[in-house]
């Protein structure tokens, strides 16, 4: 009993000392720091609110008053193939398909490109394979030869190195002599499945409207006139789009021209993808901001929009305010009651921003609640990636290809079972960072239940559940290695 009493007394003393240190540090150090953090977060939240409000108004006005692209621009259907007249009215189009170890989807993407409704003598299909797996390379080359035997003008291209990743492959592909007479370039990722009429619906915009450079993410330049493909960041398409925009060209988005693609199948793959999509724009902003400022072909307001709205608010501030405010600062104020967050900043403004975000995708409004919680989890990785891109740290230009499954899941019963790699359960399923944030938020929520009066614990505990689900790997599909 004596030993037990000593242990209890020691534990009590330790708790008392921790409590005393907390009170000593709180007033002179933690309170001012947390107040400053709250003010910074409020400014960022208001910046995001104004930008979202502006975009929401623009989207509504466009939907109500703006004519559809086929009414706004000149568009004429392509003439049917005529053996007597020939295919002279059809411009020659280059289709580029960059690949990297795409074992599950290479047949689908190559087949979709080869089935495009376009005269075969006016179509050049270029498979740019950077695969490191010799078996996959042989499979892709064999598939290309199979389609070539059917009369398709399809070429299999490989490089000695993966320099520049996808941008490097696309850039190298344009150097071959057989593509010099191609007037337009279409790029499909390895998981894209365009419908046969894709070219017939999109190319006429480019033919009849010389001021248009892009249709739904597909380029028409004069790619070389915009400076060509650059491998300075992992968002080569955004890089080229910004440079093309700064030259005064217009872009057309066709919402009804849809191309099937594949979502990341695992949470790990999604994290890598989001790292690239967050790090790349921040790194591009660092490299292009002065180029945009010095540009003389666009006016001041377009420069302001690109720098402030497109890059600074959407690609940097949006990630930071979501993570720091809702996952760090707001929970910490539950432990430090001397620091208060205005109710308009904690509830009203976020609700309005969320509603505005749903304006562009009204069909997904039923997923809004789950989306908010999941976005807060992803904000941690996006914020980290944003800082890496801004500082151009070690992983700034890292490219981890998003694993694609194609129809592998549909055919899993037919396939032979594969032995799961030892240790992959922890690497793919158990994520310490997410679980660590779940524990932190749980402590803040529990403290609010026991001692607080703000009742934010409801939101905090919902976030605890989401971080825990993500941390235990119950997001996405887990496929054995």
**Residue 401: CA atoms inside 13 Å, Cβ hemisphere, count?**
18
Q: Is 428 a catalytic residue?
A: no
Judged by DSSP in three states, 96 sits in strand
Q: Which of 129, 231, 237, 239 is catalytic?
A: 237
- Say how far apart CA 427 and CA 431 lie, in whole Å: 7
What are φ and ψ of residue 271, in 5° steps? -60, -45
- Say how far apart CA 467 and CA 474 lie, in whole Å: 10
Give the Cβ contact number of residue 361 at 10 Å.
11
User: Under a CB-based contact definition with an 8 Å cutoff, are residues 197 and 210 in contact?
Assistant: no
Q: What are 96's two structure tokens?
A: 């580029």
Cα three-residue angle 32-37-42, rounded to 5 degrees: 125
User: Could you give the C-alpha distances from 414 to 16, 56, 139, 410, 419, in angstroms and in order?
Assistant: 63, 48, 20, 9, 16
Element (H, E) at 98: strand 93-99
Ranges of H-type helices in 249-305? 267-294, 300-304
Q: Is 130 a catalytic residue?
A: yes
Would you call 54 exposed, middle or buried from its count of C-beta atoms within 10 A (0-12, 13-18, 19+)?
middle
Q: Which of 130, 191, 239, 428 is catalytic?
A: 130
- Say how far apart CA 50 and CA 87 lie, in whole Å: 51
User: Could you give the C-alpha distances from 2 to 8, 14, 107, 435, in angstroms and in order?
Assistant: 10, 18, 75, 38
Would you call 444 exposed, middle or buried from its count of C-beta atoms within 10 A (0-12, 13-18, 19+)?
buried
User: Among all chains, which residue has been given the structure tokens 């594949």?
Assistant: 262
- Say how far apart CA 168 and CA 161 lie, in whole Å: 10
Give the Cβ contact number of residue 278 at 10 Å.
26
Active site residues: 130, 237
């Amino acid at each position: 009993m004596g030993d037990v009493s000593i242990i209890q007394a020691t534990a009590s003393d330790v708790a008392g000392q921790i409590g005393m240190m907390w009170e000593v540090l709180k007033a002179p150090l933690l309170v001012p720091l947390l107040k400053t953090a709250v003010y910074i977060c409020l400014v960022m939240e208001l910046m995001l609110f104004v930008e979202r409000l502006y975009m929401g108004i623009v989207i509504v006005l466009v939907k109500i008053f703006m004519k559809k692209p086929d009414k706004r621009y000149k568009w004429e259907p392509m003439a049917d193939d005529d053996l007597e007249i020939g295919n002279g009215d059809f411009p020659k189009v280059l289709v580029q398909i960059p690949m990297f170890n795409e074992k599950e989807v290479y047949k689908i993407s190559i087949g979709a490109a080869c089935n495009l409704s376009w005269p075969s003598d006016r179509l050049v299909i270029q498979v740019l394979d950077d695969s490191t797996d010799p078996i996959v390379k042989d499979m892709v080359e064999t598939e290309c030869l199979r389609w070539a035997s059917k009369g398709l003008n399809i070429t299999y291209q490989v490089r000695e190195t993966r320099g520049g990743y996808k941008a490097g492959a696309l850039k190298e592909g344009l150097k071959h002599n057989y593509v010099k007479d191609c007037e337009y370039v279409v790029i499909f990722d390895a998981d894209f499945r365009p419908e046969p009429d894709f070219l017939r619906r999109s190319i006429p915009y480019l033919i009849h409207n010389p001021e248009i450079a892009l249709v739904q993410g597909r380029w028409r330049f004069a790619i070389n006139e915009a400076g060509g493909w650059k491998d300075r960041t992992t968002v080569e398409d955004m890089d080229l789009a910004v440079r093309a925009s700064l030259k005064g060209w217009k872009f057309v988005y066709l919402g009804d021209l849809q191309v099937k693609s594949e979502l990341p199948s695992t949470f790990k793959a999604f994290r890598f993808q989001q790292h690239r999509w967050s790090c790349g724009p921040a790194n591009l902003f660092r490299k292009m901001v002065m180029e945009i400022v010095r540009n003389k072909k666009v006016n001041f307001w377009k420069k302001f929009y690109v720098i402030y709205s497109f890059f600074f608010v959407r690609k940097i501030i949006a990630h930071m305010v979501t993570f720091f405010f809702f996952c760090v600062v707001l929970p910490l104020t539950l432990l430090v009651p001397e620091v208060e967050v205005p109710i308009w900043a904690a509830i009203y403004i976020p609700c309005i921003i969320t509603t505005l975000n749903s304006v562009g995708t009204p069909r997904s409004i039923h997923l809004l609640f789950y989306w908010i919680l999941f976005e807060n989890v992803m904000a941690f990785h996006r914020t980290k990636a944003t800082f890496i891109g801004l500082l151009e740290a070690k992983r700034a230009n890292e490219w981890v290809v998003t694993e694609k499954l194609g129809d592998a899941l549909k055919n899993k019963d037919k396939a032979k079972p594969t032995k799961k790699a030892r240790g992959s359960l922890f690497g793919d399923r158990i994520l310490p960072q997410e679980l660590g944030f779940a524990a932190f938020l749980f402590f803040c929520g529990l403290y609010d239940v026991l001692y607080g009066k703000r009742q934010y614990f409801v939101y905090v505990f919902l976030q605890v559940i989401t971080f825990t689900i993500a941390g235990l790997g119950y997001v996405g599909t887990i496929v054995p290695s």
